[in-house]
Each structure stands twice: as structure tokens, then as C-alpha cells.
Amino acid sequence: MLATATLVVLACELIGLVGLVIVDGKLNFASVHDDQRERAAGFERNAPPPLEEVLHPHLGWVLNADSQGGAEVAKTRFPVNQLGFLDQGDPLARRSDDRLRVAIIGGSVAWYFSMHGREQLARRLGQGPDFRDRHIDVLSLALSGYK
């Protein structure tokens, strides 16, 4: 049984070698490897760009944090943070006594507020007696389409 299987494998290999000689006109494995490398490079060059949105295990659809250059909203490019939200910085930074971190969550209205009203919110919160001596970070955890 083993001898038969070995003969079948050898016959298949010989048929493959004969086919290679017929197709390429020669028996040269280096050229086969070069051809494979060129084809693989072609796949990378012709690959589609990364998706702009990806599925988050807890939130549903978020922006792709791996996309280069951020995302475009209303003809303006915004950075995408590591969680897939339109915001720069580290949303998972450690807490500290001298820093207040305020997260704005929600849909499109919350996102526009977090982009265009964050400085005013931080300034107004900083005027209060409890937060006067603290640095205030406003984080955008909002995306259009969320409720």
C-alpha cells in the first residue's frame, strides 16, 4: 500500500515537472519563485484601500483607527483615535488629580459639539471652583448615526 502511494506521488510530481517544462520551455525553479514574488507584489499594489468603517465588538460600526490620514467629514479631515472616534489623543489615558477628563457621547449633534464647542466647554468648566486648578480634557466619543 505504501509503495503504491509513493509511486502515485512520484508520478504526479513527474507530470507536474513535464507540464512546467512544456509551459515555460525550461526547468528553472528560480524563475518560478521570481514570478511568484512579482505576482504577490502586484496583489499589494492593487489591493483596495482599507475600509473607513469597521465593526467594533461593543459599539457597532466605528471608524477604522488604522486608516491613514483620518476620515473626511463635510469636506474636512479629522484624526481618528485608537477607539475609532473622530478625535486626537489617547482616550484611555490614566486618571490624575490635576486632570479632569470629560467624555462627550452620542450621535451627530454630540459630535459637532465635541468638535466645535470643546474649548468653550473646557473654559467654562475651568471657571468653576472645583475645577479651577485642573487641566480639562474634552474627549469626543460620539459619531454620526449613533443615538
What is the residue extent of each domain of the chain? 2-45, 53-142
- 34-85 residue pLDDT tens: 877 777 776 666 666 667 778 777 777 788 877 777 777 777 777 888 888 8
- 96-116 residue pLDDT tens: 888 899 989 888 898 888 888
**pLDDT score of 120:** 94
Q: What pTM was computed for the model?
A: 0.57
Burial class (CB in 10 A: 0-12, 13-18, 19+), 136: middle
Alpha helices for 1-147 (secondary structure H): 2-24, 29-45, 108-116, 118-126
Residue 127, pLDDT above cutoff 90:
yes
Residue 23, pLDDT above cutoff 70:
yes
Residue 103 near residue 139, CB atoms below 8 Å = yes
